[in-house]
Amino acid sequence: MNIIIQNLRKNFGEKVAVNIESFKINSGEILGLVGNNGAGKSTLFRLILDLIKADEGTVHMMDNTRDINVAETEEWKDWTGAYVDDSFLIDYLTPDEYFQFIARISGKEPEELQEFLDKFKHFMADEILGQKKFIRNLSAGNKQKVGIMAAMLLQPQILILDEPFNFLDPSSQSAIKHLLKKYNEETNATILVSSHNLQHTVDICPRIALLEHGIIIRDIDNKEGQAQAELEDYFQVTD
Amino acid sequence: MNKYQLYRLLRKNENLKERRHPMFDKNRFMKFLLIFMWLYYAAILIFMGVTMAIGMKGAYNGVAAHHVLDGWFPIVLIVDFWVRFIMQDTPVNQAKPYTLLPIRRSFLMHVYLIRSGFSLGNLYWGFMLVPFGLIAIAVPFGWITFIGWLFGWWLLCIANGFSYLYVRTLLTKHMAWLILPIIIHGAILAAMILPEHNWLDMPCTVLLNAFANWKILFILAVIAVIAILYYANFLLQNSMVYNEIGKKEEVEVKNTAKMSYLNRYGQIGEYMKLEVRMKTRNKTPKMQFVMGIGFMLFFSLMMYFTDAYSGGFMKSFICLYNYIFLGVTTLIGIMCHEGNYIDGLMSRRESIYQLLRAKFYFNSFLLIIPPIIMLPLMISGKMSVWMNLGYLFFTVGVLYPILFQLAVYNKDTFPLNQKLTGKQGNATQQIISMVILFLPIGIEKLATLLLGDPWGYILLMSAGIIGVVTHKLWLKNIYQRFMVRRYTNMEGFRASRNS
C-alpha cells in the first residue's frame, strides 16, 4: 500500500508544524523519519492517521485497486496499525484484556490471537501477559511494548510507530528491530518509524526522510547503510 | 523572598491556574456560560432569600422569620458541604507542584488553608442570606443584629468548609471515608425531619440568635471550633503531601472477570465489557455510581418512612430523579473519560459508533436498579406503577437521546482516577441536566391536565418506546455528527488531558 502526501500543511499558530509539497512512501517500504525535537514527526504521523486536521493538502493510501483519502473515509483503518503515544492505550485494562479487545473488535479468532502472542513471547519477556496488572501500572517500556504489539495485532498493511525504541531496554530494542524487519519481509507491509536513535533507524530503514521545521529536507537512500555518516553530520554527533 | 512575597506569588499562581484552565483558554463562550451560571444560581438564592423572608414573616405563630430559617440551618450546611465536592480542591493537591521546591511544607499548608478559609465561596450563601436578613432582621431588629447574624453564618460556612476539606482528604486514603459524612448528615436530617418537631430547632436557633446578639462566648466557641478544624486539617494535609506524590495504585488486579456472556454480542459485547470495566476500575466513575445509588436510596427511604415528599410534584420529581440520576451523572460527560484514549479509539473503524451503542445498552440495563429500589414505594401505594413505567421509558427513549447529543460536543477529557473536584461538567452540561430534570414532569403534568390520569404517563411511555425502537438511527446520526466535528473534539481532548 502506497502513501501519497500532497501539499500537506499544518500550522500551530504561527509555527509551521508540517509543510510537505509532495512525498510518496512506496508499498512494502520501511521509511525512517528523523529530525530534531519539534521537527514535526509526530504531527506528520497524526496527519497520516487523520487524528488532526490538515490546514491544506491530502494524504492518500493507494494500491492497484484502491485510492483512499484518509480524511474522507474510515476504510483504511482496517489495514493500518499505529502507536504514537499512550493515548492509544486503554490503561484500565490488563494487557491480556487489551489484546483480546483489539483482536475481537478486529474480527480475529482467539487462536489467531494466541498465535500472534506466541511470536512475541521473547519480546514480552514474561513481564506483560498474565501479570494481573493494569496497563497504567506497567513500566513505560512495557507500555510501549503493549502499544507496539497492539498496532501489529491486526497484521496491518501500513504500520506507523512513533519512536518505538523509546523506554525499551537494549535487548527489547534489538528484538523490535528484528520483528519489524521480519514483519516487513513476510507481509510486504509499508512501515513508518520515527526515531531519535540514528543507529537503529539506519539499521532497519532502507530509506530515511530528514525533517526540519515540518519540511522534508532530505530523502536519503539507505539501502547500503550509507545514511549513517550523512545523518551524523547533520545532527553533529561526531566527536 | 520573604513569606508575604511568597504568599503573594502562590496566590498569583493559583489565579493564573484558574484563568488559564484549558477549558476556558480556548473557549470564550464557555467562560461566558460559566459566569452566566454563577449569576443564575446567585439570582435563585436572592429569590429564595426574598421569598422566604416575606413568606415566613408571621407565618409560624409569631416566630420571627429568621428563627424559622435558623432552626433549619444544618440543611443549608449539608447542601453546602456536598456542593463543595464540585467546586473545592484540597490544599494537599494545590501544594503538590511546590513540594519539591525549597519552600517549607508547613508554610504551603498554611497558605492554602488560609486561602480556603477566606475563600469567596464561603460568602456565596450571602446571596440568599443578605436579602433575607435585610428584610427579616435589619428592618425589624436593626443593623447590628443583622451583621452579627450574618457574621455567624459566615463562621459556620468556614467551619463547614474545613470539615469538608478534612473528609475530602481522608477520601484520598480510602473511599470508605465517605460513610462518615453520610452517617453524620443522615443523623442530622433524621433528627430534624423524622420527629414531629425538629429536634435541632432549639439549639440551632439559640446559636444563631447568640451571634445576632453578639454574645462573645458563643462567637469565641465557634472560632475555637474553626481553629481546631484548621489545626486538624493542617496535621492531616501535612502528613498526606508525600503520600499524594508517591501514591501508587494497588498493583494487583482483583477484578478480572472475563464477562464471557457478552461475547455472543460480538463487537458491541466487547465495548460493553469496556464500559463495565471503565466504571468498576476507575475511581471517578465508580464514585459517581456509588453516589447515585446513595441518593436514590436516601430519597426513596425518606419517601417511604416520612410524608416529607408526599406532594404530587415531589413524587414525580423523586421518581424521575431516581431514573435519570445515574444517566445524568455519567452521560453528561459522555466521551470525556474516553478522551484519555481517544486516539486509540479513533484509529479503529466505526469504534465510536459501537462505543455509543454499548453505552446506550449499558445505561439502559442500569435502569433495572431504580424500580428495585422503589418497589416498596410501589407496593405501599406511595408511588404508582404507571409513573414508574412512564419515567422508565421516557428516560431510555427520550432523555438518553438528549444526553447522548453531548457526545457530539463534549471535548474535555475528564481524569479517570483523580479527585472529584475540577472537571465535573461545564455550563452546557449543567443546563442540559437541568432541562431533563424538569422537562418530563412538565410534559406529564400538562398531559394529565388535558387527558386525565394515567394518560400523561402513557404519553411518556409512548414517546420513550419510539426512542428505543429507533435507537440505532439516532445513535448513527450522533456518530456521523461526531465524525464531522472529530478534529475539534480530538484537539480539545488532547489539550485538556492530564491538565
pLDDT tens sequence across A93-116: 999 999 999 999 988 999 999 999
ipTM at complex level: 0.92
Measured distance CA(A120)–CA(A128) in Å, rounded? 11
Cell of B402: 438528549
> Three-state SS for B26?
coil
pLDDT, tens digit, 9 for 90 and up, residues B345-362: 999 998 999 999 999 999
Q: How many CB pairs under 8 A join A and B?
A: 80
- Nearest chain B residue to A86 by CA distance is B341
Task: Give the Cα-Cα-Cα angle A170, A176, A179 (nearest 5 degrees).
Answer: 145
CATH code of the domain containing A96 = 3.40.50.300
Say whether A105 and B343 touch across the interface (CB within 8 A): no
How much is the pLDDT for B330? 83
Longest dimension (CA), chain B: 74
Sheet holding A30-35: strands in order across? Answer: A80-83, A158-162, A190-194, A30-35, A207-212, A215-221
State mean pLDDT over B473-493.
95
Report the Cα–Cα distance between both ends of chain B, in Å, rounded: 29
Measured distance CA(B340)–CA(A161) in Å, rounded? 19
Residue B295 has pLDDT above 60, yes or no: yes
Question: Under a CB-based contact definition with an 8 Å cutoff, are residues B460 and B393 in contact?
Answer: yes
Residue B422 has pLDDT above 50, yes or no: no
- Between B52 and A142, residue with greater pLDDT: A142
Cell of B373: 429500589
Question: Under a CB-based contact definition with an 8 Å cutoff, are residues B219 and B159 in contact?
Answer: no
- Domain encompassing residue A153: 2-235
Measured distance CA(B490)–CA(A151) in Å, rounded? 20
How much is the pLDDT for B425? 54
- Nearest chain A residue to B354 by CA distance is A105
How much is the pLDDT for B310? 66
Nearest to B49 by CA among B124, B132, B137, B140: B132
Number of domains in chain A: 1
State mean pLDDT over B4-8.
85
Question: What is the least distance, in Å, from the CA of A182 to any CA of chain B?
Answer: 24
Q: Mean pLDDT in chain A?
A: 93
DSSP H/E element including B314 = helix B312-331
At A143, give phi and psi (nearest 5°): -60, -45
| Range from A139-148, B56-65, B118-127 carrying the lowest mean pLDDT | B56-65
Put simply, whether B252 touches A (Cβ < 8 Å) is yes
Q: E strands along B192-321, which residues?
A: none
State mean pLDDT over B149-156.
93
State mean pLDDT over B190-198.
81
Put simply, whether A137 touches B (Cβ < 8 Å) is yes
Question: Under a CB-based contact definition with an 8 Å cutoff, are residues B352 and B482 in contact?
Answer: yes
Say whether A132 and B256 touch across the interface (CB within 8 A): yes
Question: What is the least distance, in Å, from the CA of A76 to any CA of chain B?
Answer: 8
Say whether A94 and B354 touch across the interface (CB within 8 A): no
Task: Give the Cα-Cα-Cα angle B415, B417, B420 (nearest 5 degrees).
Answer: 75
Query: Judged by CB atoms within 8 Å, which residues 321-340 of B form the interface with A?
Result: 340
Question: What is the least distance, in Å, from the CA of A234 to any CA of chain B?
Answer: 32
Best A42, A46, A50, A51 residue to mutate vs chain B (most B CBs within 10 Å): A51
Put simply, whether A105 touches B (Cβ < 8 Å) is yes
Residue B61 has pLDDT above 80, yes or no: no
- Nearest chain A residue to B355 by CA distance is A105
DSSP 8-state class, residue B414: P
Would you place residue B100 in the very low, low, confident or very high pLDDT band (cuts 50, 70, 90)? confident
Query: CB atoms < 10 A from the CB of B26, how many?
Result: 13
At B436, give phi and psi (nearest 5°): -75, -15
Query: Judged by CB atoms within 8 Å, which residues 58-87 of A form the interface with B?
Result: 74-75, 77-78, 80-82, 84-85, 87
Would you place residue A184 in the very low, low, confident or very high pLDDT band (cuts 50, 70, 90)? very high
How much is the pLDDT for A216? 95
| Range from A41-50, B138-147, B170-179 carrying the lowest mean pLDDT | B170-179
Q: Mean pLDDT in chain B?
A: 84
pLDDT, tens digit, 9 for 90 and up, residues B22-51: 655 555 656 666 677 778 788 888 988 888
DSSP A105-145: HTT--HHHHHHHHHHTHHHHTTSSTT----GGGS-HHHHHH
Percentage of chain A exceeding pLDDT 70: 99
Say whether B274 and A93 touch across the interface (CB within 8 A): yes
Measured distance CA(B476)–CA(B352) in Å, rounded? 10
Write the CB contacts of A154 (distance below 8 Å, at least 6 apart in sequence): A78, A79, A81, A102, A106, A108
- Nearest chain A residue to B248 by CA distance is A137
Say whether A93 and B249 touch across the interface (CB within 8 A): no
Percentage of chain B exceeding pLDDT 70: 89
State mean pLDDT over B178-190.
89
Question: What is the least distance, in Å, from the CA of B244 to any CA of chain A?
Answer: 16
| Block residue for cell numbers 519477556 | A125
How much is the pLDDT for A239? 59
Task: Give the Cα-Cα-Cα angle A141, A144, A145 (nearest 5 degrees).
Answer: 90
Percentage of chain B exceeding pLDDT 90: 32
Q: Which of A51, A87, A93 sits opposite B340 (nearest CB)?
A: A87
pLDDT, tens digit, 9 for 90 and up, residues B385-394: 998 999 999 9
Question: What is the least distance, in Å, from the CA of B267 to any CA of chain A?
Answer: 5
State mean pLDDT over A122-133.
87
